[in-house]
Amino acid sequence: MTGALVSGAAVLGVVASAGGGVERWFVDGLARPLAAKGWRLAITFTPTAARWLEPRADSLRALTALPVRWTSRLPWEPKPHPAPDAFVFAPATANSLVKLAVGIADNQALTVLCEALGDRKPMVVLPQVSEGQAAHPAFEGHLAVLRSAGVVLASDPESVMRELDRVAPLVALGENAGNAATG
């Protein structure tokens, strides 16, 4: 990541759904390397991912100094995260991918992602789906919708990092400044 981005503390919205194994690799395989690259992480989980990762919440808070979210805030509460400059959704289950593609924001994680997609924030998504889910007749159409909105689909955590390295210079130049905050 560029020095300008590190000193500017660009915010990366990191969203995870409950794909099998996320509890084993999310902290050390994704969050820690992203923080080491200079991103300030604004982490949000789907409700099930939160149940799986709650034991690791303290180590995640230590990486970012921001709360780890999975529930919405009350109307009178301040927003707990600054507006992210870019987003990573990893892992993204079939259920959550489809909801994102059609705009169903029925939990805090999908609310943040749907708003980011509407704001055209850079977004890298790591699908984690079974062969049967991927073979569903509607699934490829949902991926096409996401691609048409500018979403980059990654194949593994390493490709997530490579794609973010391509986004970082744009963020450092303020290409996403002024977009609406996500809630």
Helices vs. strands in the chain: H and E counts, helices first? 10, 5
Nearest to 118 by CA among 143, 70, 151, 152: 151
pLDDT the model gives residue 116:
95
Q: What is the per-residue pLDDT for 65? A: 82
DSSP class of residue 55? G
Q: Whole-angstrom Cα distance, residue 139 to residue 181?
A: 30
Helix (H) or strand (E) holding 61: helix 57-64
Task: State pLDDT tens for residues 97-136.
Answer: 999 999 999 999 999 999 999 999 999 999 999 999 999 9
Q: With H, G, I as helix, E, B as strand and everything else as coil, classify residue 39.
A: coil
Please state which architecture CATH assigns to domain 3-71+81-172: 3-Layer(aba) Sandwich (3.40)
Share of the chain above pLDDT 70, in %: 89
With a cut of 90, say whether residue 71 has pLDDT above it. Answer: no
pLDDT in tens, 128-183: 999 999 999 999 999 999 999 999 999 988 899 999 888 877 776 665 444 333 33
Instruction: Name the residue among 54, 66, 146, 70 with its Cα closest to residue 107.
Output: 70
Q: How far apart are CA 115 and CA 100, in angstroms?
A: 10
**Residue extents of the structural domains in the chain:** 3-71+81-172
What is the residue whose two structure tokens read 């509607």? 138
